[in-house]
Chain A
Amino acid sequence: MMKWTFFHKLGSPKWFYDISGKWLPWLQITSLLSLVVALIWGLAFTPPDYLQGNSYRIIFIHVPASFLAQAIYMMMATAAAVLLIWRIKLADMALKVMAPIGASFCILSLATGAIWGQPTWGTWWVWDARLTSMLILLFLYIGIIALRGAIQTSEVAAKACAILSLVGVVNIPIIKYSVNWWNTLHQGATLKLTEKPSMAPEMLWPLLLSILGFYLFFTLVMFLRLRVEILSREKKTRWVKALVGE
């Protein structure tokens, strides 16, 4: 028999609150530093693209935002599985605080995609496979947030959202495949400019740094939201009362 005490310690809200408190300053410094460096590097010092000129520079925001929007959904599904299998309270809180962050990155990715589309395609919106998949991902996020808001009992809402995010995660590959297939079928005036077959290293490095910065920033925001959620859920426990009483 394996021992799961480590796992449950990891799931204890108080333990997480203490540990994350120590992490916070480091996260703040590293995320700010990597974002600032990556953006200045990307926006000011990389050479312009030979095809798109300077407009391509939005990828330093667009691509990390799209990465995160998808990664956060996967993390939510993982948290959902952890919640349903081990009934760990922290997984429920993580699931709850991650959904709006993921939806925000989704909106950011769609908005930057639209802004990028204006100079390259000459229109704000193109039913391109990636943009459409991202839009459907936003629908999935909206569903989870709406379901959470509609159910009063928090334990029930948590499990319901967990089931929904698992259903969504099973569907994401199917949706992506169908949308790609639909897009190749209806390929009309779309220029395949979003595809980056090979990227010059002087563009790739700031992009990777920007992705790292976005991940750190996401971790920071999630930790902050999670800490607030922990305090409000555990407000009747002794340790929170002691903390607030200080």
Chain B
Amino acid sequence: MATTEQQSMRGGAACLALIKRDLTLAFRSPGQIVNPMAFFLMVASLFPLGIAPDRDVLSQLAPGIIWIGALLSVLMSLDSLFKSDQDDGSLDQLLMSPHPLPLLVLAKVFSHWLTSGFCLTIMAPLLAIMLHLPADAILPLFVTLLLGTPVLSLAGAIGAALTVRIQRGGVLLTLLSLPLYIPVLIFATGAVNAAAESLPWNGHLLWLSVFLLLGLCLAPLAAAGALRVINE
């Protein structure tokens, strides 16, 4: 009877083990990390080809192009967030764990962000230079991506959980997630644009931080609920 009282729960250790597992898996099949980055680069280079290589036009469009590119490549990588676990039966083990599922979901989202959003953030200044973003706006771009891409992973986790049992659910995942991404897109590009016009941009960052906090609190709960419901 007294199992829980005697054994202390090591939720943190379980999360660390899960993060270590997912990162190891990502490094063993590097495509998981490199492909979204290559996709990001390609999408961003399509715009000069599709519109005009004009310096003024591009520098005006750059924040939007980079942010939409980042948003789409995060979406691409989200498809496998829970699906790979579902395919080999690991998801049942997550669901059967005595640790709170939202905590485990948060661990999975964190490692997903490290292998997707974080890498894109590091890569973004390079694209900013290619698209002639004013030098003053590069730091704001970096900071908005750093604050905003975790929100993309968090909100996208809900869609990934809801579509985990659906074959070829990638398009559906996009449909479910994109409306949730709109506020992040608006405030993040707003901040970069403001900085490019030498206007204050810290207010936008506060809003992005609010979204991040909201996402951290609510998204794991919703995603965990969705995983339980879908696997019934």
Contact = CB atoms under 8 A, between A and B. Distances in A.
A172 to B, nearest CB: 10
A140 B187 CA distance: 20
B172 A150 contact: yes
Contacts of B165: 151, 156
A136 B177 CA distance: 12
A189 interface: no
Contacts of B68: none
B180 A163 contact: no
Contact of A167 (B158, B175, B182, B190): B158
B176 A143 contact: yes
Interface stretch (A178-186, A204-212, A232-240): A178-186
A225 to B, nearest CB: 23
A24 interface: no
B61 interface: no
B230 interface: yes
A150 B169 contact: yes
Interface in A182-211: 182, 185
B226 interface: yes
A174 to B, nearest CB: 5
A159 interface: yes
Interface residues of B, number: 26
B232 A163 contact: no
Contacts of A185: 190
Nearest to B210: A174
A164 B178 CA distance: 13
Interface in A147-182: 147, 150-151, 155-156, 159-160, 163-164, 166-168, 170-171, 174-175, 177-179, 181-182
B124 interface: no
Interface string B195-232: 00000000000000001001000100010011001101
A233 B225 CA distance: 25
B32 to A, nearest CB: 25
B163 interface: yes
Output the residue of B163, B225, B229 with the most chain A CB within 10 A. B229
A98 B182 CA distance: 24
A177 B163 CA distance: 28
Given A136-B182, A139-B175, A171-B180, A156 B163 contact: no
A42 to B, nearest CB: 33
Nearest to A182: B186
B198 to A, nearest CB: 16
B226 A163 contact: yes
A36 interface: no
A159 B179 CA distance: 20
A59 to B, nearest CB: 27
Interface in B133-164: 158, 162-163
Nearest to B166: A150
30 contacts: A136-B179, A139-B175, A143-B176, A143-B179, A147-B162, A147-B163, A150-B166, A150-B172, A151-B166, A151-B230, A155-B232, A159-B229, A159-B232, A160-B230, A163-B158, A163-B162, A163-B222, A164-B176, A171-B179, A171-B180, A171-B183, A174-B211, A174-B214, A175-B179, A175-B183, A177-B183, A178-B182, A179-B182, A179-B186, A181-B186
